[in-house]
Chain A
Amino acid sequence: MKRVVQILLIFICFLLQCTLFQSIAFAGIVPNLMVIVTSIYGFVEGRSDGMIAGFISGLLMDIFYADFLGINMLIFLYIGYVNGVANRVFYPDDIKFPILFISLSDLAYLFLTYFFGFLLRARFDIGYYFLHVILPEAAYTIVVATIVYIPLQRIIYRLKTFERESD
């Protein structure tokens, strides 16, 4: 039951990311909801659930928008895991740590994508990519994360306690 809800939630986030989020693009830059939801799953539920959330997010992105399967799956898998480690210092009402972790995760994702997708194809101008893609996306993602963090975290947390009571 928990898994079904988890898959459903990530599914919804992916759909929003590819449709509605594209229309709130600011100067062509879209915030990354997939990183946000994967990270939050990591904080609230721990390593295993963070990993699975990342795995599903990466899989969806790979199927529809990548040339081959696997690369986003791997990156998001590790984002979920690392955020799951932060589960130990997680307090539901504290927003500073989660936001810090979300922005670090997004930066990690962006740098890895630059490395595998661009640097390996001899696009060396990292300064340009940093200023025009990496920095704006990270900043926009932080803004969106501060807005959606509380509701998303509440949903996941509520589901978790609900599950425990019904056990």
Chain B
Amino acid sequence: MARIKLKRRKFTIPSQYLLLLLTAVSILLMILSFTTDVIPALFNNIAGYTVVPFKAGLTEISTYVNTRADDFREVQEVLSENAALKAQVDELTQQNDKLTEERFELIDLRELFELDAEYEEYDKIGARVIGKDPGNWYSVFVIDKGEEDGIKEGMNVISGAGLVGIVTKTGAHWAQVRSIIDDDSNVSGRMLNTSDNLIVYGSLESIGNGTIEFGQLRDPDDEVDVGDKIVTSNISDRYLPGIAIGYITSIKKDPNNLTKSGMLTPLVDFEHLDVVLVITEMKEDNGL
């Protein structure tokens, strides 16, 4: 009887050894991903091909559910708005004609003076957000375009309103984006009106208020005030210059009496990011 049982028993590793083995594998992977790019890249690709299609589908479902719920609420508002808007349409059509005329004039003038509207001229790729950080510590998300769609690590990500973040990792058809509100994010910024440089720090402590911290602003003449606009700096080595970040909501002098710090409200609604644009031009390409 004992022998028969022995025969039927499968070969298993005692759990203590398995624990040691898996611990060793984890530490080995940790070291390898710090030192080389080969192993992480391999994993990125395998996981990308298996997980991403499902993720995209599920995101679609949850977006659908959310949208339906929102629709229901919005129908009432929309009906009352509709009447008011119809009146506005007539008024605006008239204005639009006038503006179109002026726009063509502007284009001509720009060409004439060789003005470079840099911000409009970056090549962009649209991408959908298909997954968010599983935990509550970081603000990292995954988009559905990757290396094979032309996305590289270090590319800037924007949404219609302003700067969202930067691509930190890529797979074949997915990429990881670290948003500027993430606790680990630092962006070199510039005041639009005074051209003073400053640093924008993401911080978990201020995400709750919908703001981001900034600091190291030198403003000896007290020219910067609440409501001023912050854009990315031209001395940043990772971010393209002139992308809007947000508006200052509070500012105070640092204890050292030399620099100022405070809070800014970002232009992007990070809670409801569905579609983002990835700028395919990179800071390093410019040779700056």
Task: Please list the residues of chain A having a beta carbon within 8 angstroms of any beta carbon in chain B.
Answer: 11, 14-23, 28-30, 32-34, 46-48, 51-52, 55, 58-61, 63-65, 67-71, 73-74, 77, 81, 84, 113-114, 117-118, 121, 123, 125, 128-129, 132-133, 136-137, 167
- Which residue of B62, B134, B137, B205 has the most chain A CB atoms within 10 A of its CB atom? B134
Chain B, 28-41, contact with A by CB distance < 8 Å: what is the 0/1 string?
01101110000110
Determine the chain A residues whose CB is within 8 A of the CB of B130 once the complex forms: 19
If the complex has contacts A18-B142, A64-B51, A64-B176, are A70 and B30 also in contact, measured as CB distance less than 8 A? yes
Secondary structure of the A contact surface, majority rule? helix
Q: Can you list 6 contacts pairing A with B, beta carbon distance less than 8 Å?
A: A15-B51, A61-B135, A65-B142, A69-B33, A81-B19, A117-B138
If the complex has contacts A28-B207, A74-B27, A118-B183, are A65 and B133 also in contact, measured as CB distance less than 8 A? yes
Q: How many whole Å from B9's CB to the nearest CB in chain A?
A: 10
| A21-B47 Cα distance, complex, nearest whole Å | 20
Looking at the complex, which one of B15, B59, B136 makes contact with A47 (CB distance below 8 Å)? Answer: B15
Task: Please list the residues of chain B having a beta carbon within 8 angstroms of any beta carbon in chain A.
Answer: 8, 12-13, 15, 18-19, 22-23, 26-27, 29-30, 32-34, 39-40, 43-44, 47, 50-51, 54-55, 58-59, 61-62, 65-66, 130-138, 140, 142, 168-169, 174, 176, 183-184, 204-205, 207-208, 271
Chain A residue nearest to B174 (CB atoms) is: A64
Determine the chain A residues whose CB is within 8 A of the CB of B59 once the complex forms: 19
Q: How many whole Å from A89's CB to the nearest CB in chain B?
A: 17
- Which residue of A46, A58, A132 has the most chain B CB atoms within 10 A of its CB atom? A132
